[in-house]
Chain A
Amino acid sequence: MFHKGFFKGILGAGVALTLATGLPAIAQETVKVGLILPMTGASASTGRQIEAAAKLFIAQNGNKVAGKTIELIVKDDQGTADMSKRLAQELVVNDKVSILGGFGLTPLALAVGPVATQAKVPAIIMAAGTSMIVDQSPFFVRTSFTLPQNTTPIAVWSAKNGIKKVVTLVSDFGPGLDAEKSFKAGFEANGGQVIEQLRAPLANPDFAAFLQKAKDLKPDAVFLFVPSGQGATLMKQVAERGLAQAGIKVIGTGDVTDDDLLNSMGDDLIGMITSHNYSTDHNSPENAAFVAAFNKANPNMRPNFMAAGGYDGMALIYKALEKTGGSTDGVKLVEAMKGLAWTSPRGPISIDPATRDIIQNVYIRKVEKKNGQLYNVEFDTIPNFKDPTHK
């Protein structure tokens, strides 16, 4: 008699155990999101912007989504690729994160690609801008921008607005070459001519020779690209070199007139025309709320395009989790992310289901002074613009 009940008890415990281990996704109530960012080193401003924006998103929207609690883990890769990869492995294996994110520069994102693919963990690119990154892993989804996407509009705009001859000057690495190629393609397709393509080493202290060369070639305009955070030195030397006085216009992508640094670059920049996916000055209720909240949480810091990428990256994660009903299965999450569309602080954006890359408005802007501060003021829009190299 007694041993029958005992047997039943064991059976019941066994069934309960099978149930518990068979469905670990339900048992796990916390979803960990691991952000790998350069918090120190030359690209530290990128990391700080993204971290601040991601934390802001969680503060605004709560840390609960689809019944799960979101836990953010931020790791510093110091802008070195081997570190990014090691941190990604640690986050996946030790911390058991369900989603990776961040990646300040192209090489850092590429280093993490194999880890994301193998672990089947979605990796949200919130900063890096080389076009081909999304091809390197089916788990990459991008919420930042691509260089061709941001460069082509200024090339087309220049050709249509009386600029005939251009000299390009870019940083000699992946995104720089992307910018150079896209500019030439877009500009020459519309009747312009690129008369010289200059490439400055990434760690270049003195731009004097390149800028003098550009000046001596007497183009109508000089096109500039340097990565986020490095525009200050270049623009100071552009002013010193007197390009404006020589009648040469200065154009570029918005990386050069980074909102984070724009104010400290001085009045020499007024009038510079750039194309980019986000400006702090973007005129929309979503952006006004975003900038106000960002400034409140981070005094003395202006949200730039990196912050927009981080903010929208978190938005993407929340929306995807809602769509999967809280399931953290990597394949399901990436599927859920494909085709998602919403209005972000930068305007309407969506994730291209075919490439997992972002589709967004690109704006033509001019540096102007408003209330004693410098802003990139948007005056033209290229709506829902796809990365032109991924057709």
Chain B
Amino acid sequence: MLTILFDGIAYGMLLFILGIGLCITLGLMNFINLAHGAFAMAGGYLAVVMMNSYGISIYWCLPAAFVFSALLGALLERTLYVHLYDKSHLDQVLFSIGLVFIAMAIVDYAMGANQQIVNLPPSLEGRIDFLGASIGVYRLFVIAICGLLTVGLQFVLAKTRFGSRLRAAVDDGRAARGLGINVTTIFALTFAVGSGLAGLGGALSTGIISLDPTFPLKYMIYFLIVISVGGTTTITGPFFASILLGVADVAGKYYVPAVGGFIIYTIMVAVLILRPQGLFTRSTSR
């Protein structure tokens, strides 16, 4: 029972880190970036290559994946995405889904279509017993990292000067510019951080789930569920939504395996009927 809860939380945390960048760009910057999963995939493949081909420790691979995806995100933001901020949502969707297919084709060509797996260091393998529950060490590691990141993100957005500038830039870009805030830089930075987090999530996920060129499409559904259930105006909304979905998914497959795969969708439908604005969104509209 505790083990199931734990596995669910670990899975949910992973979904959160993978999807939080999308929440930021969508909620704060009002930009639909369906190619978000491609950045996660980039981080994942970088980690795989570093670990398997060069034998570099996972503790170096994770920050490297963050930096790599963040730089990639910044580069694409400056060259491609920047032209689409003023365009309609449909244009943004079409553009970013196109990017997904390009990314998938590139990875397929460069790395092959087979599933990539990494061999974790012995210190992260195995299981420990905690209060009668058997817990995988790697999943504990994932929870710890994701938990720290969540606290850090919440702090930055709510308490720091950068956070308040970002919120100002989003709420009213013209007024923010008038006050001397460099909106362009703030958006670029935010986009890069969101992509970097996805890359980190992608690298972390290689230890649990499979990494192959279809990754961005496969997980896009999960990101979108997290966002539609959690709402995009806060960090905590998607966070609790991710945990809820992770736990419901794992518990559902455990207790009612016959319909397990559908539970996550059932929850989404129920939430959307009862609270179309998202489970954790404040009812004030912008």
Contacts and interface: CB of A to CB of B under 8 A. Distances in A.
A binds B: yes
Interface of A: 40-45, 198-201, 203-206, 208-210, 212-213, 229-230, 232-233, 236-237, 239-242, 245, 260-261, 264-266
Contact of B254 (A209, A245, A265): A209
B257 A210 contact: yes
Interface stretch (B59-67, B86-94, B111-119, B233-241): B111-119
Interface in B92-151: 108, 112-115, 117, 119, 125-127, 134, 136, 138
Contacts of B108: 40-41, 44
B209 A240 contact: no
Contacts of A232: 114-115, 117, 210
B3 A206 contact: no
Given A42-B214, A242-B134, A213 B254 contact: yes
15 contacts: A40-B108, A41-B108, A41-B113, A41-B214, A45-B113, A45-B114, A203-B218, A206-B250, A237-B208, A240-B138, A240-B208, A241-B127, A242-B126, A242-B127, A261-B114
Nearest to B114: A45
Ranked nearest first, the 6 interchain pairs of A and B with the lowest CB-CB distance are: A209-B253, A44-B113, A233-B210, A205-B209, A209-B254, A201-B261
Contacts of B254: 209-210, 212-213
Contact of B257 (A41, A199, A261, A265): A199
B251 interface: yes
A264 B7 contact: no
B11 interface: yes
Nearest to A41: B113
B117 A210 contact: no
A230 B208 contact: no
Nearest to A199: B257
Of A42, A201, A240, A261, chain B has the most CB atoms within 10 Å of the CB of: A240
Interface residues of B, number: 34
A44 B212 CA distance: 11
A43 B210 CA distance: 14
B140 to A, nearest CB: 12
Given A198-B257, A240-B136, A209 B114 contact: no
A373 to B, nearest CB: 15
Contacts of B261: 201, 204
A150 to B, nearest CB: 21
B24 interface: no
Contacts of B127: 240-242, 245
B212 A208 contact: no
Contacts of B136: 240-241
Nearest to B215: A205
B260 interface: yes
Contacts of B114: 44-45, 229, 232, 260-261
B113 A205 contact: no
Nearest to B14: A206
Contacts of A213: 253-254, 257
Contacts of B227: none
